Amino acid sequence: MALTYTTGHDLVLTIKLPSTGTAVTFVDVCASATLTMENEQTVVETLSGRSYKTTAKNATLDVELYQDWASTSPASVCQALWTAATSYPDTAHLAVLTAGGKTFTFNIFPAAPPVGGGANDVLTTSVSFVVEDGTITVA
């Protein structure tokens, strides 16, 4: 069986933001996207030994992107995220991450990207989104 290597250029991240009414694709401004899921487990000591029970799944989507505040064509991703975080903070938004031929679908809560940076640097910002209920579908 052949091994297929995937690079970051093969990642596609799309988030449907109610502030724009459409799906926003992050390909042009996204430097990295990492989806992390962890099981929250309780250890129970019994007479027969240890037993583990998963009580919750916690997941986050961490995105590093280039600040595009002044972009108008396409529309600013940073502005759309800011608007979603301030106008719809408790509304879950559909997110789809495609990596290595697999599609990961989940809901995230919006987060506003930090603004600013160093004078000699390309302005980037990091945003961490909470995944609703840690639920991720893989297809």
- What predicted TM-score, i.e. pTM, was given to this entire model? 0.84
Instruction: Please give the single-letter amino acid code of residue 124.
Output: T
Q: Domain total for the chain?
A: 1
Bond preceding residue 18 cis, omega within 30 of 0: no
Give the single-character DSSP code of 79: H
Instruction: Please report which confidence band the pLDDT of residue 70 belongs to, taking 50, 70 and 90 as the band edges.
Output: confident
Q: What is the pLDDT of residue 20?
A: 65
Judge whether 50 lies within some domain. Answer: no
Pick from 63, 54, 41, 30: nearest CA to 130? 63
Mean pLDDT score of the chain: 87
Q: Higher-confidence residue: 42 or 2?
A: 42
Judge whether 63 lies within some domain. Answer: yes
Judge whether 46 lies within some domain. Answer: no
State how far the alpha carbon of 2 is from the alpha carbons of 5, 11, in Å: 10, 20
Judge whether 80 lies within some domain. Answer: yes
Q: Give tens-digit pLDDT for 91-117.
A: 999 999 998 888 999 999 999 999 988
State how far the alpha carbon of 125 is from the alpha carbons of 30, 36, 66, 71, 98, in Å: 10, 19, 6, 15, 21
User: Which range of residues forms the domain containing residue 26?
Assistant: 12-39+57-138
Q: What is the pLDDT of residue 62?
A: 95
Q: Which of 32-36, 63-67, 75-79 has the lowest mean pLDDT?
A: 75-79
3-state SS, residue 80? helix
